[in-house]
A = this chain, B = another copy of it.
Amino acid sequence: MTTPKTREDVVRAAGRLFAERGYHGTSMRDLGQELGILGSSLYSHIDGKDQLLVEVIRRGAAMFQGLADEVMASPGTAAERMRALVEGHVRIITEHVDEAATFLNELRFLPVEDRAGLIALRDGYQRAFRRLIEEGVEAGEFRPIEDPAMTSTFVLSVLNALVRWYRPAGPAEPDEIASRMYEFVMEGLT
């Protein structure tokens, strides 16, 4: 009675397990079990385990890159665009934790031929934050910041760590998380 699994089902289940147990902590038999089929049956949908990792991570990367492209092409002050980046980043993670977590945690296990390209995407995303910080400093919206690259790492550290503690059943709503993150990033503790 249960309808046959699709390739899409397989990729999504892979994201779930890679996020939860890591790429090397997930066997093809685990993944089959998650879908109610045998591990060997997965190979009618995909070519190999590493292909699944590539596909899950590509999805994560694409969402973040899309956000950065959109926000950086839009008008507004540096503060306004920073708010848009924070809200978008939180939305991506709360709506797609698995792909986001796998993108952020399992990049190093990618096959060599895919690794460099996806790391470049991640670095490009970080560069958007750095440029925005530089613009904000120049415009006098932000305080003088000696090392915008390192500071962009700090901002992204706060945002990315959400994949580690976000739980859909948790007490905090995504909107509330985004607001408090933006506040913290802009004002710090004082």
Contacts and interface: CB of A to CB of B under 8 A. Distances in A.
Nearest to A145: B189
B133 A151 contact: no
A170 to B, nearest CB: 10
A44 to B, nearest CB: 26
A158 B109 CA distance: 24
B188 A184 contact: yes
- Say what secondary structure dominates the interface of chain A: helix
Given A153-B165, A161-B153, A180-B151, A190 B187 contact: yes
A186 interface: yes
Interface stretch (A6-14, A34-42, A136-144): A136-144
A43 interface: no
Contacts of A24: 21-22, 24-25
A110 interface: no
Closest 3 CB pairs of A and B: A157-B161, A188-B188, A24-B24
